[in-house]
Structure 1
């Protein structure tokens, strides 16, 4: 059985996804400016274009996971703050999710440990996409000809 404190803790962890999303948004905007800047300058470097496209795709995927994580954070917080019994809250949540088409009816009644595991898995996916974005940017910086010529 999951406690209210555990629900609060999971909600707090999931809210950290917002910070990850902000960094990813910055990198995605950087990628958009990089791609647009090449087009406006009339000089198109295939490697820069590829990097820009990869960062944009990763940024869009990260944004999707960030929205899912934020949704789960709100749900976990709502469940933790409710004064009703956890069984009542779970039933109402499952009814709402099913009615909105956000959850198949056969998934109703899952244990909260399973829900917690799934929500934290989404946060890990979001953080992995951000990590790939960061590695691409750092790899590009380190491999750039202007940096290598200065050594």
Structure 2
């Protein structure tokens, strides 16, 4: 992956994580509101509370992954935009990351295909967390007691 265009492409793909993050934020807020809303209604169902808590915890995990994916997207973009030779840019990036304590010195010098695979793995993990969060939210909504009152529940 020595081409600047490939670095730009990876950066662009990683920026798609922002859409996942926005969707996850909505699910997390919904879970928090519905979970807390059980106390307002006066009907606390332990299963619904557990589902709400699970969606919320997954939302916090997704926030961490979204931060990491966005950081990687920015790094790929910066390296792709720099006008210097790629080896010089890579060495400068590794030095900066090591100086900030964000990467062990021995991890420096990795190839760009290896770095892009690692970053894409983070993006896939973020997508999986959001998918599980969405499934739990659907389960939460289908198991909610207000469906009985609306005539939709069993």
TM-score by structure 1 length?
Answer: 0.94
Q: Secondary structure at the match of 1:148?
A: coil
Q: CA deviation digits over 1:50-78, x for unaligned, max 9? A: 11100000000000000000000000000
Counterpart position of 1:148 = 153
Q: Which residue of 1 aligns with 2:104?
A: 104
Task: Quote the residue 2:95 is aligned against.
Answer: 95
**Alignment map for 1:132-147 (pairs within 5 Å):** 132-144=132-144, 146=147, 147=152
Deviations 1:98-147, CA, capped at 9 Å, x for gaps:
00000000011000000000000000010000000111122333445623
Runs of 4+ in 1 over 4 A off after TM superposition: none
Gaps in structure 2 of 5+ consecutive residues = none
Tell me if 1:60 matches 2:65.
no
Residues 2-44 of structure 1: CA deviation (Å, up to 9, x unaligned): 2100000000000000000000000000011011111222221
Q: Indicate if the aligned counterparts of 2:62 and 2:129 stay in contact, CA closer than 8 A.
A: yes
* Whole-angstrom distance in 1 between the partners of 2:75 and 2:84: 15
